[in-house]
Chains A and B, each alone.
Chain A
């Protein structure tokens, strides 16, 4: 029997040397005349173990990691193809605590299969949801999604089924499914992992959405910072067309659906849905006022579903296993699972899919194992650059849309960035304002001007110029931005700024005063 070796092709694995590991394995095997099949899979998401190489043995898969290029020779000598003992041996990957504790629904196949093998996709349960959907009435598909409790995983948390229902009810000669893959939030990489590790699940989810609302064309807008994601997604779409998953007869049904990948051009604000639509139309990525809702007048003025990658990629399992199965996971009004992306200064960083409800403390101290530097955790930013900084005193907050909102924070796209005690929260607050100034589309005044004034005012605090007055000014400015901005960029920048100010007031005391007090 020829052995099968799995070496990830995910960017996160490539960034830490997976390509060199693959080349070395290939070379060493050839030199020794050993036959083996190398599969380039996605990543399972435990980046602290990447590059994680797996071999298929008689007893199932055995993982080794993190493998450095220099470890390859010793792995072969240890007969790793048969699961031999080695200091990097991790055993059955499913039993590694980081994976064993997860509930993998959306990411069930990610990191396990060759992302461009439709056969492997099918063998692992793929296309079951779409097969059910083509036999259902559109309104019934929408009903399943509504009843599953699925909410927008991009950050807004709007019920996906309700959005679909609006588009289904709209009368038009043409409708669109737009997948928002402009994953610009720092600390997030779930969309990228799907593009690179299980692109067919997104294709399947979009096809189901198309059939449900009566759209025949889908666009996936992927940020230009993800060249590997764009390449894998594009290749998967070609395969899906060739195999009849996409095209004029989706899975042999009378439903037509096709998808095109579009590349962003480095504008963070294009992750905002109306700005993304303008960008797709070939315009400046300026935010549109709502109403009209994109569901009624979206891309090229036509009814459009705009959903995040993870929302769409969660649809196939709902249509496969049923709304009740999905809804059974989670707490309160946050149903199903959420792919937590644990990043920044952590020991065990990566993607961890779990039902809603874990507390922030469970995540940071438990799953993430504290900081990589070994120093105490000072702050955790949840939900990207527009998310609040949480202090340890709020670690009992459960991961749930409403619970985070109640603590003046947001779940966002579920990025969790951990900082140790060397973090300077005044600097982080200033960065939030600076980032908003760099990325503002310029349409509304609170965001365009407010962010620049915010940077200046925070600089005055740093310089010790009438700090109390500046703090009052920043607070007032944040209030204006929060309630006066058109979209989340200006409207949510106050979250990191005010949370830094409220939870870490010592960092906002002027340097001279702080030193004098010590």
Chain B
């Protein structure tokens, strides 16, 4: 299991991320991306540190974090599998593929397997619409998903 860092450590690491990015115009999204890269999620303890550094309210930071689908408020599994649910993939049977993968991993969307191996997320288009159905496993793109590809995915996340 991923150990959650202590809040003082979170504050220090958050401050380091902010230091490298605060000179940008409109730095909040780059900072939040940086924090998610650093911790794997955006820890609630990071929000007041950001608010303080950018001289905006904590509510404002909270509002931004919760608006965007990408930011997590808790750690994901060791692997993140995103399955495309948009129309081009639907036209190539993504519903059936999704049902199979949910069943084989034993989890639904936005859930993490009990052993912490994988988090399953829906995604609305990966731009791989001419090789649908498509998925992304930890940043690696997978097209023309079929039974063999599913086997490979399941094997990869359990390894």
Q: Which residues of A contact B (CB under 8 A)?
A: 11-12, 14-16, 47-48, 50, 183-189, 191-192, 224-229, 260, 262-268, 279-286, 300, 341-346, 349-351, 372, 381, 385, 415, 417-420, 423, 428, 431, 435, 438-439, 441
Contacts and interface: CB of A to CB of B under 8 A. Distances in A.
B1 to A, nearest CB: 26
Interface stretch (B2-10, B11-19, B26-34): B26-34
Given A189-B128, A435-B124, A267 B68 contact: yes
Contact of B129 (A263, A283, A343, A423): A343
A381 B87 contact: yes
A304 to B, nearest CB: 12
A186 B123 CA distance: 11
Contacts of A431: 87, 90
B53 interface: no
Interface in B33-82: 33, 54, 63-64, 67-71, 82
A283 B86 CA distance: 26
Contacts of A419: 91
A260 B21 CA distance: 13
B142 interface: yes
Interface residues of B, number: 43
A117 B143 CA distance: 27
B87 A385 contact: yes
A428 B134 CA distance: 19
By Cβ-Cβ distance, the 6 closest A-B pairs, closest first, are A282-B28, A15-B143, A349-B130, A186-B86, A343-B129, A265-B68
B89 interface: yes
Given A189-B130, A265-B68, A345 B143 contact: no
B134 A15 contact: yes
Contact of B125 (A16, A225, A381, A420): A225
Contact of B29 (A228, A263, A438): A263
Given A186-B125, A341-B129, A349-B129, A283 B87 contact: no
A265 B88 contact: no
Contacts of A267: 67-69
Give the most central of B26, B29, B129, B131: most A CB within 10 Å. B129
Given A285-B67, A431-B87, A15 B131 contact: yes
A284 B63 contact: yes
B25 A300 contact: yes
A265 B91 contact: no
B126 interface: yes
Nearest to A225: B126
Given A11-B128, A186-B124, A285-B68, A279 B141 contact: no
A192 B127 contact: yes
A284 B60 CA distance: 9
B153 interface: no
Nearest to A191: B127
Give the most central of B24, B82, B123, B125: most A CB within 10 Å. B125
A284 B64 contact: yes
Contacts of B126: 11, 225
10 contacts: A15-B128, A183-B125, A191-B127, A225-B136, A264-B70, A284-B63, A284-B67, A300-B26, A385-B124, A420-B91
A344 B84 CA distance: 12
B92 interface: yes
Contacts of A343: 88, 91, 129-130, 132
Give the most central of A14, A225, A283, A438: most B CB within 10 Å. A225
B127 A188 contact: yes
A15 B26 CA distance: 34
